[in-house]
Structure 1
Amino acid sequence: MVCLGAGMAVGGKAATTEDYRVGEAGRAEALATQGGLQQKPLERVLISMRGPGSLDAARGEAVARDIRERMSRLAEVESVGAPVWSADRRAVRVDVTMTGPELEGTEHVDALLAQTGQVQKANPDLRVDESGSPSIDKDVDGQRGEDLSRTEMFALPVTLIVLLLVFRSVVMAVVPLLLAVSSIIAGVGLSKLASHVFPDAGVGTNVILLIGMAVGVDYTLFYLKRDREEHARSGGTLSSATVVELAAATSGRAVVVSGLAVAASSATLYLSGDVIFDSLATGAIVVTVAAVVSSLTILPALLAKLGARASRRHTRGPAHTRGPALTSSVLDSVARRPMFTLGVAVAAMLALAAPLVGLKLTDVGQETFSRQLAAMRAGDRITAAFPELKSTNQVVVRADASRRAQVRVSLEALAGRVKTDPLFGGQTRIRVSADRRITVLEVSVPAYPSEKRAQESLKRLRAEYVPATVGKLDGAEAAVTGNVARSADYPDHQKQRLPTILGALLLVTFVITVLAFRSVVLGLVGVVLNLLSAAASLGVLTAVFQYRWAEGLLGFTSMGSIGSRVPLFLFVILFGLSMDYQVFTLSRIQEAVRRGVPARRAVLDGIGSSAGVVTSAAVVMVTVFASFVPLHLIEMKQIGFSLAFAVLLDAFVIRLVLLPALMLLLGEAAWWPSRRRTADTGREGRSMQTVG
């Protein structure tokens, strides 16, 4: 609550339009801004008949005039355009440009919607629609909030049920949930403070909820698992405080290592040079830090208070080392034929990863939003009447004011080429800044930004028309922006940064594993297994969402591609979360090795003893991630699905099949270059030496 209070007191800092600029499109927008010609928040009002037939010209002009007069009186409005009739004369539209930066339109659009509502009420026989980026974003934000509320209502009770089945105690089941919720609350507060360094792009809360539930429950389960084992081993002879100290010396350090891995992996997103990924990284880091701190402070104190209850409940039987019967059966099968098992499992994972070859990335534009939103339905009617409004290419030119005539002649020549090209809509407009240094040519395209026609129009502009016209002017700087360029440049930007981020991610995973376990071999094993898991998950995501066969099953309309942010986010978060399981599992094996247990038996006992908590944590994670699949935003669906599937693979294939098979084949070599320790120290000493 202190973190939340501090965050609320200081307040957050939202990302600005400038923060989103990438690639040539971003450079062109910066040029346009220098001349005051940057994108402004724009709303469009459409007046049409409710039924068949054309709109009476006089009636349409009268209603349009009413709209213009009402909007012109608003402080939120900068200018109102003249009425524009559709080609079939069945509708007329009025464009309303709002004041302020492009991203702030959402905050002030209610005043415009209210006026449109009044005009609609006065003309019930007509349809008066309003749509634009501000009203669409407002509706999307509202829908996202409702979706997240439903997600919480689903995830929390299901998580509680899973924990009740694990612990058979209401009190002990509530503890992980409380830690997760408190971590999320603290994460929200910390994210507001962090936003003054890394501006919030509006997605931080989503990832805080997503990661907070996962790591909060994970870390608590690690502690509770060890706490129960120590109670069982002691037979009630040790005090609650002593048992908690033993748990803190082992699982406590595992939590720190796991938290460091998640935070360090998430931090690689800062290398993307993108405000959205910066916001995602910040959210993941702050909620992970909050979960780790809570696990090291609040959780031990709480366990000490609950110690007597835990002792009575958990000292009724011996501590098990091989886990559930199903786990033992799987491990026995792996132990009998590790090479064969490894080959089959790797082949299966590669088969799942195969669709990755055909992966297509696109920016998730407004055309993918739910048609349940009133602004989207209105937008569809507007673009049906005026198809040229679907997309726009903007050629921005900066040159000395003395050369404005040459710039205009060149842009008019470019416009002439565009008007005869079937890729374009044929409509153009030239705007010039007050100082005559910046000129913008707007070119309409009757296709949504992600569609092939729009993308081809951009390529032709950049590769042929611009170089052949304004590109030949000495001393002039030209660049292309617009919503088509934005949708193309953003995925390209991510593709360019992906190798750097992936390299940093692999390095972070390797270094943390090596430092934690003093083994170069285990560092390499961790990297390979994480890559295999991520590739398989991304391959399945491609098969499910890039093609249409699962649309009805999961309730979405395929874009024929994957959201450009999803693969990078999946890789980073999966690498971080998989370290939770890896640290907990390997630390159990390492404990046995240091006690002098033969390598083969150490692998089987270590994985067997950790299987229960890993499985329980995985079920909770899958529940949380899967709860994002019903969301309306396609990108959140893809993220939720891919993470849920990745966790399933990691817990049930990687940790129960691939890891033990590799460890059995490697034997003592798995711990190279560290030396094996003999069992000549007491249990407390061994606990302090182990990672977890």
Structure 2
Amino acid sequence: MSTGAHFVLRHRWWVIAFWLVVLLAGGTAAGQLQSRLSSDFSLPGQEGSETQAQLARSYGVSADLGYLPVLTAPAGRPIDRADVTAVANRLRTIPGVRVLDYGTTGDPGFLTEGGHSTFLLVYGPQPAGFADPLAPTVDRTVKAAARQQGLTAEVTGYNQLSAGSDAGDDGGLSVLGETLIGALGALLVLAFVFASFLALVPLLIAGVSILATFLVVLGLTTFTDVSFVVQFLIALVGLGIAIDYSLLVVSRWREERARGRSNDEAVITAVTTAGHAVLASGITVAISLVALVVVDVPLIRSMGFGGMVIPVISTLVVLTLLPALLSLVGPRVDRPRIRKEAHVSRAWSAWARGVVRHRWAAAAAATAGLALAIVPVFGLQIGQAGSDSLARSGVAHDTLAALGAGGVGSGVLTPMPLLVRSGADASTVAAAARRVPGIRMAVVAPPGRDGVREVVVVPTRETVDNTSVAVVSSVRNATKDLPGYVGVTGRGAIVLDYQRAVFDDFPYVLGLIALVTFVLLVRTFRSLLLPLKAVLLNLVSVAAVFGMITWFWQDGHGSNAVFGIAATGALTFWLPVLIFAFLFGLSMDYEVFILARMREEYDRTGSTAYAVEHGLGRTGRLVTSAALILFFAFAALASAPGTDIKVLATALGAGILLDATVVRALLVPAMVSLFGKYNWWLPAGIARLLRVEPSPLVPDAVLPAGYEADPHPPTQPTADREPLVPEGRP
């Protein structure tokens, strides 16, 4: 680190010029990136996804039901088949629309009890974004056609219910608007931390990091699909990470300046110490996102590639551009010097002393809080929100309720397209599917462009999460051995595919990530116990966050009050793995920041109590401020369109606050204090293997009251020094 810092200072103008060019190129890339991003949720190699692709080739429509119009006859008479056919034919004039109905098929399953109403299954192409541009046309056409036949018509459907539950689905702030809101919140925190114009420097670093990341991701789109979600992550996660890393380095630079070092000496020391923690943290975040890359799902893998770029670029900018700027203009912009860095924070030092004094009580309280937060996670459902968790009022809700009153279950929202090869007997397949318990009807559709036939299987209950998709497996098992069977698709089939593709192997991926992170942290902390504790606490912290969002979103105890969105009933299948990957890495940031400083203080003094007090005294305010900055970024992300992104933002924001308060400010110092001298032990054999200095097990030092460590310690602590005052000696 010291060599790199000297290199940057010797070539500071070249470094600044390089990043200036990247900044300009990144600004251009940001404008081009959105059109290159993908909204593909396919799962190549999985039956549901492959069948969906075949359906699109044969019929030109999505496997998900787009619209569910309901036609109702005047009171006192049943629905007329010819009237239904006339309305359906009008809908068929809309390009890209495909209709299955009672008039064409004559299947009584389309009718409510008494035959007073009927529903139509209307499919359209997959929308490219959040809003469906075809929805208003379908709505106007079906209502106009129904009036001509003397019928009334309303349109419901899963997408219509979702739109009714989230008014933000068609709008929301742009990526730029959200970034500006996050940046404003960050500026307020930085102004409090630095109380000088130095607060603008981390924002400048964040701006360069974000645009540089956009540039790299634009290059990635030429080789692989990148999800549209990545643009939000780059802007807001990138903003928080770059500022957090800058905050740590700049604060250490100020601290060294306050101790009397020259400006360049302070820069080099800051990069050597705080910069080392930043490097370890950036690598840890990037490693955690490997969990996304190795999952064989294009959507999740693209998020992993895009996400990995964020900490890597932020770390690179912070360790190169930031030292160059501090060397050139740092002292000039550090005005007025209202806040000093010469001494540790009295408030955080007092807090640390209190935690050390009452470490058993502190550990017990933190553990109880985490356990309470974890409890709801045992009811976590994976899939998509159920209809009863979407709109509670409005036309779509009332129309579905009317169908229910007529004996038509919510399964009409999630029909299962089942494809049969050309020449095979589709009616035999339909009959087999119809005999499966929980199936309302199975209708053979007209042939597609290549002769493939579709059998539309409608379940009694909707199939949206892991508690309701068993009927999809039953239909597959009942039909897969029949001649001509191609596959089953639809919402329920895709949920099953994601469960197999993502969650079956994810525990092994999680174990691998935890192991690699543990090894990296052993090198960083020169300890066996501290990395083990860090990894285990991170897993516990992430579990607590999943419990919180289960309670908040799935069960609806906070979503309606805060966002006006009803309980989701389940977490969308791609969200848990994304939340885990980002939270595991981001939470580890604060662990690295705090424990790296504690390790440094212990190497100076040999006292665990001193290391906890002064380590937390130096980093407590920084970690809290960094957490607030990331929280503001995620609060801005929560204004993005789409409930799924709101859930992601809520999970990351809550996780960061939980981790920075209960875990890092309470449980970590309590546990370090409890473990005492065993925190710092690294046997010589393992140290040689990892090419770091060993850390022998020695008694804790007992320091005299009022002792202050050497304010100018060597930048590379020695591992073989004896404690200043061994335990048991006066």
Give the structure-1-normalised TM-score. 0.80
Shift of 1:211: 1.2
Q: After the TM superposition, which of the residue ranges 658-667 and 145-154 deviates more from structure 2?
A: 145-154
CA distance in 2, matches of 1:80, 1:349: 51
AA partner of residue 49 (structure 2):
G
| In structure 2, distance between residues paired with 1:686 and 1:487 | 53
Counterpart-to-counterpart distance in 1, 2:352 and 2:621: 13
Please report how far the alpha carbon of residue 448 of structure 1 lies from its aligned counterpart in structure 2 after TM superposition.
3.3
Secondary structure of the equivalent of 1:471? coil
Instruction: Give the CA deviation at 1:576.
Output: 0.7
User: Helix, strand or coil: the match of 1:426?
Assistant: strand
Whether 1:441 and 2:455 are equivalent positions in the alignment is: yes
Q: How does 1:294-333 map to 2 (within 5 A)?
A: 294-309=317-332, 313-314=336-337, 319-321=342-344, 323-325=345-347, 327-333=348-354
Contact 2:587 2:659 survives alignment (8 Å): yes
Task: Identify the residue that residue 517 of structure 1 maps to in structure 2.
Answer: 525
Q: Secondary structure of 2:222's match?
A: coil
Of the three residues 234, 241, 262, the one matched with 1:238 is 262
Match in the other structure for 1:411: 429
Decide which of 390, 393, 397 is 2:416's aligned counterpart: 393
Is the 8 Å Cα contact of residues 28 and 481 (structure 1) preserved in structure 2? yes
Give the Å deviation of 1:222: 0.6
Residues of 2 paired with 1:453 and 1:685: CA distance?
A: 60
C-alpha distance 566-62 of structure 1, shift in aligned 2 (>3 A): closer
Q: Is 1:213 matched up with 2:228?
A: no
> Out of 332, 338, 342, which is 2:363 matched to?
342
Cα 1:378–1:256 change in 2 (3 A) is: farther
- In structure 2, the CA distance between the partners of 1:314 and 1:191, relative to structure 1 (3 Å rule), is same
Unpaired runs of at least 5, structure 2: 1-23, 104-109, 684-692, 699-707, 720-730
Cα distance in 1 between the residues matched to 2:32 and 2:547 = 44
Q: Secondary structure at the match of 1:395?
A: strand
1:30-429 to structure 2, matched below 5 A, reads 39=62, 44=67, 46=69, 64=87, 67=90, 72=93, 76-77=95-96, 84=103, 102-103=125-126, 110=133, 113=136, 143=169, 146-147=172-173, 151-152=178-179, 154-169=181-196, 171-234=197-260, 238-239=262-263, 241-309=264-332, 313-314=336-337, 319-321=342-344, 323-325=345-347, 327-364=348-385, 389-397=412-420, 404-405=423-424, 407-408=425-426, 410-417=428-435, 421=437, 423-429=438-444
Contact 2:226 2:306 in 1 (8 A): no
Alignment of 1:12-27 (within 5 A): 13-15=36-38, 19-21=42-44, 23-27=46-50
1:221 positional shift: 0.6
Aligned to 2:594: 585
2:553 is aligned with 1:542? no
Distance 1:621 1:372, change over 3 A: farther
Distance, in Å, in 2 between the alignment partners of 1:594 and 1:317 is 25
Which residue in 1 is equivalent to 2:106?
A: none
TM-score (norm 2): 0.76
Distance in 1 (CA, whole Å) between partners of 2:341 and 2:242 is 28
Deviation, 1:354, is 2.4
Are the counterparts in 1 of residues 127 and 133 from structure 2 also a CA contact under 8 Å? no
Amino acid across the alignment from 1:354: V
8 A contact 2:384–2:569 mirrored in 1: no
Question: Whole-Å Cα distance in 1 between the matches of residues 417 and 272 of structure 2?
Answer: 61
Displacement, 1:496? 0.9
Q: C-alpha displacement at 1:506, in angstroms? A: 0.7
> Per-residue deviation at 1:218?
0.3
- CA deviation map 1:558-583 (0-9, x unaligned): 13333333332222112211222122
Paired residue for 1:504?
A: 512
- d(CA) in 2 for partners of 1:426 and 1:104? 27
Quickly say closer, same or farther: Cα 1:80–1:566, change in 2 above 3 A: closer
191-200 or 680-689: bigger deviation: 680-689
Unpaired runs of 5+ in structure 1?
Answer: none
Letter of the aligned partner of 1:624 in structure 2? A
The range that moved more, 48-57 or 488-497, is 48-57
Q: Distance in 1 between matches of 2:48 and 2:556?
A: 31
Give, in angstroms, the shift of residue 608 of structure 1: 1.6
User: SS state of the match for residue 440, structure 2?
Assistant: coil
Counterpart CA distance in 1 for 2:675 and 2:331 is: 43
Q: Cα deviations across residues 627-676 of structure 1 (Å, max 9, x unaligned)?
A: 44566643333322322222222212222222222222333332223535
Check conservation: 2:415, 2:456, Cα contact below 8 A.
yes
Q: 1:471 is aligned with what amino acid? A: D
Equivalent residue letter for 1:599: T
Kindly tell me: are residues 288 and 346 of structure 1, through their superposed partners in 2, closer, same or farther at Cα, counting changes over 3 Å? same
Report the 3-state secondary structure (helix = DSSP H, G, I; strand = E; otherwise coil) of the residue aligned with 2:289.
Answer: helix
Structure 1 Cα separation of the partners of residues 488 and 81 of structure 2: 40
**3-state SS in 2 of match to 1:146:** coil
- In the alignment, the residues of structure 2 paired with residue 157 and residue 50 of structure 1 have an alpha-carbon distance, to the nearest angstrom, of 57
Is residue 289–residue 585 contact of structure 2 (8 Å, CA) maintained in 1?
Answer: yes
Cα deviation digits, residues 63-104 of structure 1 (max 9, x gap)? 849945xx74x7x54767789596588778887766xxx446
Residues in 1 aligned to 2:385 and 2:528: alpha-carbon distance in whole angstroms: 40
Q: Which structure shows the bigger proportion of residues in helix conformation?
A: 1
2:284–2:585 contact (8 Å) kept in structure 1: yes
Q: Structure 1 residues 10 and 244, CA, compared in 2 at 3 Å: closer, same or farther? A: same
| Secondary structure at the counterpart of residue 244 of structure 1 | helix
**Cα distance, 1:302 vs. partner?**
2.7
Q: 1:324 and 1:285, CA in 2 relative to 1: closer, same or farther beyond 3 A?
A: farther
Sort the Cα spacing of 1:310 and 1:664 in 2 relative to 1 into closer, same or farther, 3 A.
farther
Moved more, 577-586 or 222-231: 577-586
Q: Distance in 2 between matches of 1:40 and 1:27?
A: 11
> Is 521-530 or 311-320 further displaced after alignment?
311-320
The answer (yes or no) to whether the contact 2:417–2:490 under 8 Å persists in 1 is yes
Tell me the equivalent position of 1:471: 481
Q: What letter corresponds to residue 510 of structure 1 in structure 2?
A: F
Q: What amino acid is aligned across from residue 208 of structure 1 in structure 2?
A: I
Per mean C-alpha deviation after superposition, the further-off stretch among 580-589 and 243-252 is 243-252
CA distance in 2, matches of 1:108, 1:546: 23
1:653 and 2:662 equivalent? yes
Q: Sort the Cα spacing of 1:529 and 1:105 in 2 relative to 1 into closer, same or farther, 3 A.
A: closer
Give the letter for the 2:656 counterpart: V
Residues 579/429 of structure 1: CA separation in 2 closer, same or farther (3 Å cut): same
Length, aligned pairs only:
661
2:519 maps to amino acid = V
Partners of 1:157 and 1:627 lie apart in 2 by: 10
Q: Which moved more, 1:158-167 or 1:106-115?
A: 106-115
Higher mean C-alpha deviation, range 81-90 or range 662-671: 81-90
RMSD of the TM alignment (CA)?
4.5
Larger CA deviation: 309-318 vs 425-434: 309-318
Distance 1:624 1:64 in 2: 49
Is the CA contact 2:73–2:117 (under 8 Å) kept in the aligned structure 1? no
> Using the alignment, how far apart are the partners of 2:568 and 2:41 within structure 1?
28
Q: What secondary structure sits across from 2:463 in the alignment?
A: coil
2:604 alignment partner in structure 1: 595
